[in-house]
């Protein structure tokens, strides 16, 4: 195995976006006369997107009356405060720098829509460093389908077997495995207490961003 490209999920893997997304959900709850939720209750749902956050906050399933209006309002509130508290996870900047030193490139594959992904990457100062940024609407299919993963490989100039994908949700591992690339689970991400990442079929589990480099040292 010779890894040339490391691909990251965005929310809960590359960047800690939960504070801003939780703030947006709680603002929407208050706007609708409801009590805000504890941050600890919201954080595990962040990687599952706006649909999961509306389900958590309002007890509504997708397609229920009023659901889509709430989801769109949540996205609008979030967009207005896209990068107030969002930061790279501790140690992630050093990982990106070390990848460059090693001659590897890196990119992002996220289900987040491009109208949020692209300005967020720019606000984090990463838009020009990334070899590829594949959003949830960049391809016909989203993760867990392998299409966005394969699109990212092509943009980054690497074969799937030369790419490592790091994510914090089962869909990330499924998409990476179906695309034919090794996968790691970011245990520092937004994983709920009832989830079992050890059963997702990843090639490894890492407790910190530095663990990505440690895995590369022994497997690539």
Chain centroid to CA 205: 16
Range 74-96 burial, b when 16+ CB lie within 10 A, else e: bbebbeeebeeebebbeebeebb
Rounded distance between C-alpha atoms, residue 122 and residue 119, angstroms:
5
* CA 113 to each of CA 49, 50, 70, 129, 186: distance values in angstroms, whole numbers, following the listed order: 10, 11, 17, 20, 21
In the chain, what is the straight-line distance between the N-terminal and C-terminal CA atoms, in Å? 5
Q: Catalytic: 9? A: yes
List the structure tokens of 9.
């999920």
| Residues in CB range of 65: below 8 A, 6 or more apart | none
The active-site residue, picked from 11, 20, 168, 172, is 11
Catalytic residue among 9, 16, 20, 168: 9
Q: Residues with catalytic annotation?
A: 9, 11
């Amino acid at each position: 195995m010779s890894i040339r490209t490391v691909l990251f999920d965005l929310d809960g893997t590359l960047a800690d976006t939960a504070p801003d997304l939780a703030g947006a959900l709680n603002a929407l709850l208050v706007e609708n006369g409801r009590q805000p939720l504890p941050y600890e209750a919201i954080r595990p749902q962040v990687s599952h997107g706006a649909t999961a956050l509306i389900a958590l906050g309002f007890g509504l399933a997708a397609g229920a009356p009023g659901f889509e209006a709430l989801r769109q309002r949540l996205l609008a509130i979030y967009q207005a405060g896209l990068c107030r508290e969002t930061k790279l996870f501790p140690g992630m900047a050093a990982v990106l720098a070390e990848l460059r030193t090693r001659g590897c490139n890196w990119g992002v594959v996220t289900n987040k829509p491009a109208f949020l992904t692209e300005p967020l990457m720019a606000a984090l100062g990463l838009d020009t460093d990334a070899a590829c940024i594949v959003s949830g609407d960049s391809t016909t299919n989203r993760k867990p389908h392998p299409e966005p993963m394969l699109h990212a490989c092509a943009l980054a100039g690497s074969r799937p077997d030369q790419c490592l994908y790091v994510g914090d949700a089962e869909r990330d591992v499924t998409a990476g495995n179906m695309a034919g690339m090794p996968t790691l689970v970011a245990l520092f991400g937004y994983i709920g207490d009832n989830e079992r990442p050890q059963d997702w079929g990843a090639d490894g589990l890492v407790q910190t961003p530095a663990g990505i480099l440690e895995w590369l040292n022994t497997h690539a």
